[in-house]
Every structure is written in structure tokens, then in C-alpha cells.
Amino acid sequence: MNKPNNRLIPTLLVCLCTILTTACDDKGDRSSDASGNETQKPLSTPEPTTHTFGPEIQTRQALTQVALARQPADLIIQNATVLNVFTQEWLANQDIVIASGRIAWTGATNTWPGSAAQTYDASGLYAVPGFGESHKHIESSYLTPEYEAALVIPHGNTWTVEGSHEISNVVGNYNAEFWLAAERAGSPLKIFPAIGSATPPTVYESGGGYYGYPEMDAFMQYDPRVVALGEVMDWSAIINADNGGHSRLWQMIEATYDNRGVVEGHGSGLYSAEEISAFAAAGLASDHEVRLADEGLEKLRRGVFLELKHAGMDTVISKLLQLNLKDWSNISVTTDDRDVFATLQLGSMDYNIRTAIELGVAPEIAYQLGSYNTARHFRIDHLVGSLAPGRYADVVLLSNPETVAIERVYANGQLAALGKDYKLPIANIDYPAWAKNTMRVGKTLSAEDFIIHAPEGKTEVQAAILEPFWFEPDFITRTLPVNEAGLVVAAPADNLIKVAVVDRYHGTGAISKMLWQNVGPMTENSALASSQSHDLHNIWVMGNNDSAMAMAANAVAEMGGGWVLVKNGAIAAQVKLDIAGLMTARPVAEVAAEMEHLLQQADTMQWINNTGLPERMRFAFLTAAPWKWQLVAPYQGNPGGLVNVTTGETHPIVW
């Protein structure tokens, strides 16, 4: 026979008391009427509370009244043929009713019963949504956001998802504040920051910012405009728990998910089914580095949002057209990095959309690639990406949708561009010291700082050699002579140039240097330097003379950042980038003219392999996949700066 469980007795007593207490309390809420019948007392009604609505709700409340024709509109764009991105159809004879910078009503011409302060007859024109970048580094245009607006809005761009890990490595926790300052000051270009995961890019680098969980969490809660974690690039740190950056990156991913944000990826060099599956399983929702047809298809099949740059569009789009792809909603086009001079020559998103159409994509889908798809991906389609009520009144009017022939651009309901002319004033922003005073080299550099000493007693050495975009598992090794002074020097005649990275953050004057091949100036006493050095943005300099290298690097630091070309021992051209060493708050034409002058001066010089000015060197110091060996600024345990960024292995420059 089982013994009674005495431990249950106290529990049963508690339950019984609870029941009795509840019954008594319940009875206490009742009263009797004149006949003695019990009646339930009425529940108390909460006191009404006041609530002050924020700007977004106030705007939508106003739009509701305009849509119902209870309030007048600001503008009606009439008689346009409108692209509906939801149904992929062109609707003729349509009106777009605009109020408070948003669209309040759409429908057949002259059927809205209200009135408007202004009308514009768009007969014969086609209306499409303002273009939006799915992956853009505005820093690479060399312009601050208010001047970027003047550059790209005439090309139809009215909003941008900014992959902010360039300036994040300079200004740290001021990142989101920087990107939102222009719109807050009245700029019509809407910027949605994707916080830079590469802050720092690898555990082997250190700059002006460090982001983990608390920083990412704070950014996501700072403003609704912050929508994502920018491209997660350090693939080795993601998949290897013993990598020093492993925890930091996963913390940022977790913070993004906790705030219902989007995690962006960088899948360069990841081609196999295992790698692509791991990429998607990690939560990396997009890839803007797709170049190969089968790579694009396999990533698309595994749910990765493709952000196609011009370089990969022909192969990937041709493949998808060949397969007769039915649903293009998980694909976008974007520019990523395009400077002011190239944008003036080629265009911006209009160029990519035009290319898609030329490759055979139906225009109604091509415009979706440049607007609605990206808006949905980043969960901001209630704001941008379509010509529908509630969205910003970003309307691109075309004379020919097949060629993306832009006649007018409205941004936030204002006429922002007429033809190629920007029509709105530039927002006035007084950038603070944290954005302007960012060059902390710590000393004036001299020729001696760039010397490479050979080991004592050596008449020749083994040297580790790289070249731009060297993705092989091992660096190049060459046997080089040692001169009478015991130095290893540049030899342009043998395709060898000296390359250095100068630490601009810690005030130590630390420099790493080595020899590279197949790049650089042959003209005597020449050098090229820049603080545009993705992604950490230290100063890089290449040259065939140590004094010329010091001159170029010092000039970059003295003007707060930019480009400097030294030819025959004298400065021949420079581009001033005094905001974070990456951008400048100056007019488009002025900055483009400086860049053009730099290119023209470079064209008067001789370059190894006749390549001309190696502008792409600003990307040659990336430490993301698929890079292996790379030159970074010196750090503890690696004074030479040469490191395998996938393993942490270091190596001397000469031995």
C-alpha cells in the first residue's frame, strides 16, 4: 500500500484557501437590490488619457483627410501613365495626389473630388517610383549626403540604404547621427543606415569605432531609419569560433534580430552548396558581390536577396532570363561604390536599370529591381518603393521608359530635378569636430619612415610580394637585391613598387610597408596616396621614392584626408576629402573637377603596365572574403603588418 505524500498537504491547503478567498472577494463585489437579488457592481471606467502623436502618425492622419477630399492637396500630377509595381502594369491617364510630402490618393484622372494648390499635366509622360539603392557607400562618391542628393536625384535616386562601415570606422558611435543629419536639415534624399558590421573589419585592425551587441542595439533603437546590419564581411570570423572576431559579429547579428532588423551579407568567393547554405543559415540575407551566373542562381534558390552591381548583371540576368524566371522579387540592382566623376559620366541607378532593360528584362520589372524589391527587403515599403498612398511622393517622370529618359524628378512632393538640373537648395550643415578632425597620424612623416631595411649582412633577400586583388592562399615570394645602404627599394623597371599603410587613428605614426608588383608609377620621384582605403581607411601610399611617398602622405593628413598625386617630386594634383577623410561638403562640379584634374595629371605620367592611375587601389586593402594575405597597419605582435586575415598567421616582409 502506498504511503500518503505529506508534501502535498500544504499545497492543497494553499489551494483551498485561495479558492475560498476568491469566492469571498467575488461576493464582496456584489450587492443586493430591493428584492434581495444579487447585482454585479459596474466595472470602473479608466480615466481618459491624452496622447501626443509623433510626426509619422500626424502625417498619416492628415493624408487620410486629403484622400477623402476633406482637406486640399498640395499638388496633383495629372494624366500620367503610372507603373504599378504591385501588379506590374502600366495604368494610363492616372492622377497622383500629393500632400505633406506623401502620396494621398491615386486613381483615374479627374475622379478625385478634392482640390489642390498646384497641378502638373504629365500627359505623354510615364511615372515610376523614385529609385532606391539596396547597397551603397555614399562615402565612395566623395560627397557628403546633402551634395550626394544634388548628384543622384537628377538620375532618379530619391533614397538609399547606406552600407555605413566606411565612416563607422572613423566616427564610431556617431555613425547614425551623421547619416540622418542631412535629411533632418532638409535634404530630400532619404538615407536608411545599415550599420557597418566591419567596425573594425577584422580582429587584426583597429580604427575609430568598435561595435558589438550594445552598440548595435543602441543604433537600432536610435531611429526607425536605421534598418539593418550592413554587409557581414568577415566570413572566417562567422564560421570559426576560435577567430577573435567571432563573438563580436554574432553579437551584432543577435542585436539586429532582437530589434527586427535585416542582416546584410557579403558572399564574395562563396560558391559551393555548403558555403552558400551556411551563408544563408547564418542569417545573412543578401549578397551584392555576385558575379557568376550559377553562383547567382544558387544563392537565389537558397533565399539570398541578390543586389546586382553592374559588373555582375550581364551574367546573372542572362542566366535568369534563360531560365524564364517567373518571380524577380528577390532581386535588386545597385551601384555600391561609384564616385562623383563616374556618376556624372555613366549615371547612377538609372544606368543600372537601363542596363537591365537592355539585357532583356521587361521595363516594369526593371523598375521594380530599382525600387519596390529593395523597399520590401528592408521592410520600408510603407515609406518608399511605390507610387501608392502613404508613401513618400518620390515620382520619376520619363519620356521613354525603355531608355530611362528622365524629364522630371519629384522628391517628397517637391520638384527636385528638371532634366539633369537639381532644383532644390542644398541643406546647410555645420559638421562637428568629430566629423572633421579625424587625421591623427601623430607626426610629420619623413623619407626614413618608408625605408625597408634588409637583415644585417644580407646582399639579397627573400621578399613577400602582393599585387592588387591577390586572392591566392599564399603571397608571392621573390628574390631581391639589397643596395649598398642595406635597403630593399622599389624597382619600377622590374614591375615592383613600394606600398605603405599609415595608421591615422592612434597618433603613433605607425607604418607598415612592403613591395607590390604590377601597379604604381614609373615616372621618377612619384607617389600616390589616399585616405580612401576600404574599409578601415588608414592612409595608403605607393611610390618609387621614399621622399615622394612622405610628401604625398603628409599632404593627405594635412588637408584632413583625400587624394594626393606627387609627380617628379612635386604635388601635381589633390582631391580634398575633409569630412572623415572620406567625403567633402562641396558642390558636385567642384569635386568632380578635382577628380578629373587628378586623372588628367596621372595621364601625363608613366605607370607600370600602362594601367594609368590605379584608382581601384582604394579597394585593394580590403580584408573581407575572398582576401587571404593583406597589408594592414602594424599591430601588437605584427610590426610588419602582413597577415593572413583568414587564419591570423603573420609573416616578415623580407627575410
The CA distance from 444 to 563, in Å, is 17
The candidate with the shortest Cα–Cα distance to 219, out of 196, 188, 198, 237, is: 196
Residue 54's alpha-carbon distances to 57, 59, 392, 434, in angstroms, are: 6, 9, 17, 30
The candidate with the shortest Cα–Cα distance to 602, out of 574, 576, 582, 581, is: 574
Strand order of the sheet with strand 496-502? 476-481, 460-466, 511-517, 496-502, 539-543, 527-530, 562-567, 570-576
- In angstroms and rounded to an integer, the radius of gyration of the C-alpha atoms of the chain is 30
Helices (H), 212-309: 213-222, 235-239, 246-258, 273-281, 293-301
List residues bridging with 542 in a β-sheet. Answer: 499, 528
The CA distance from 648 to 655, in Å, is 19
The candidate with the shortest Cα–Cα distance to 102, out of 135, 124, 129, 134, is: 129
pLDDT of residue 15: 41
Residue 414 belongs to what H/E stretch?
A: strand 414-418
DSSP string, 328-349: -TTEEE--BS--HHHHHHH-SH
CA–chain centroid gap for 167, Å, is 10
The CA distance from 371 to 385, in Å, is 5
Taking a C-beta distance cutoff of 8 angstroms, is the pair 595, 340 a contact?
A: yes
Taking a C-beta distance cutoff of 8 angstroms, is the pair 192, 416 a contact?
A: no
Q: Return the sign of the alpha-carbon dihedral for residues 368, 378, 278, 311.
A: positive
The candidate with the shortest Cα–Cα distance to 181, out of 513, 408, 518, 434, is: 434
| Cβ burial 124-150 (10 Å sphere, 16+ → b, else e) | ebbbbbbbbbbbbbbbbbbbbbbbbbb
pLDDT of residue 611: 83
Strands 405-411 and 414-418: antiparallel
**Residues in the chain, pLDDT under 50:** 1-34
List, in order, residues 6 or more apart from 151 with CB less than 8 Å away. Answer: 141, 143, 340, 343, 344, 348, 588
Residue 408 has what DSSP assignment? E
List, in order, residues 6 or more apart from 196 with CB less than 8 Å away. Answer: 163, 164, 165, 166, 167, 168, 169, 175, 209, 211, 230, 535
Instruction: Specify the residue for cell string 524629364.
Output: 407
pLDDT of residue 13: 37
Q: Return the sign of the alpha-carbon dihedral for residues 339, 147, 344, 352.
A: positive
Amino acid letter for position 152 = V
The CA distance from 147 to 482, in Å, is 50
pLDDT of residue 11: 41
SS3 label, residue 58: helix
Number of other residues whose CB lies within 10 A of the CB of residue 212: 16
Kindly report the pTM of this predicted structure.
0.91
Taking a C-beta distance cutoff of 8 angstroms, is the pair 65, 26 a contact?
A: no
pLDDT of residue 2: 43
SS3 label, residue 655: coil
List, in order, residues 6 or more apart from 403 with CB less than 8 Å away. Answer: 354, 357
Strands (E), 569-628: 570-576
Whether residue 626 is preceded by a cis peptide bond, meaning omega within 30 degrees of 0, is yes
Strands (E), 490-626: 496-502, 511-517, 527-530, 539-543, 562-567, 570-576
* CA distance between the termini of the chain: 87
Taking a C-beta distance cutoff of 8 angstroms, is the pair 341, 102 a contact?
A: no
